[in-house]
Homo-oligomer: A and B are copies of this chain.
Amino acid sequence: MNSSSRFAVSVHVLALLALEARPVPSAYIAGSVNTNPVVIRRILALLNKAGFTHSTLGASGGTTLALPASRINLLDLYRAVEEPGVLSLHRNSPNPACPVGRNITSILGGIFEQAQLAMENVIEAMTLQDVLDQLNAAQSPH
C-alpha cells in the first residue's frame, strides 16, 4: 500500500458523472470503479464537501456533478481528497545536539516543497474536461 488511490478514483468518478445527466447511485459508480459502494460514498462525501458534486437522498437519488468539467481543476481535486506532501521528512525529530540533525529538516523541507510545487504545477494545468477529451479520443480514434 504505497499511497492512496483516492485521487485516481475521484477523477474516475467525476468523469463518470460528467457523462450522466441524472443522479448516479454509488452502487453504479462502484461497478465501474470495481470496488464497494461504501468506498465510493466515502469519497463522494469529500467531493460533496469540496463542492464538486451534489448528492441527493431517497429513491432515485444519487450524485450529480455540481460544476462544469472545464471548471474542475485537477489540483483542486487532488487537494480535496489527498494528504499533502509526496515526500516525507523524518518520523522522529533528529538530534538537535548534532549540527546535521539540527539543520537537516529545514533544508530538506525546502527541497521537498519545491518538488511538491513542481508536481502540483503539472496537475494544475489540467481540468476534468481535458480528461473527458482524452476519454473521447480513446473511444473514437476511427
List 8 tightest A-B contacts by C-beta distance, closest first.
Answer: A86-B86, A103-B138, A119-B119, A32-B98, A118-B118, A115-B122, A32-B101, A115-B119
- Choose among B34, B35, B94 the residue that contacts A12 (Cβ–Cβ < 8 A): B94
The secondary-structure label for the interface of chain A is helix
Query: Do B95 and A34 have beta carbons less than 8 Å apart?
Result: yes
Answer whether residue A126 sits at the interface, using C-beta atoms and an 8 A cutoff.
yes
Q: Closest approach, in angstroms, between the C-beta of A123 and any C-beta of chain B?
A: 6
Query: Do B139 and A101 have beta carbons less than 8 Å apart?
Result: no
Query: Do B5 and A99 have beta carbons less than 8 Å apart?
Result: no
A107 contact set on B, CB distance < 8 A: 131, 134-135, 138
Q: Which residue of B lies closest to A101 (CB)?
A: B32
Interface size of A by Cβ–Cβ distance < 8 Å?
A: 57
What string of 1s and 0s marks CB contacts (under 8 Å) between A1-32 and chain B?
01111011101100110010000000000011
Query: Do A8 and B89 have beta carbons less than 8 Å apart?
Result: yes
Answer whether residue A100 sits at the interface, using C-beta atoms and an 8 A cutoff.
yes
Answer whether residue A90 sits at the interface, using C-beta atoms and an 8 A cutoff.
yes
What 7 additional pairs, Cβ within 8 angstroms, besides A34-B92, A115-B119? A3-B87, A5-B90, A8-B87, A12-B100, A15-B104, A102-B138, A107-B138
Answer whether residue A70 sits at the interface, using C-beta atoms and an 8 A cutoff.
no
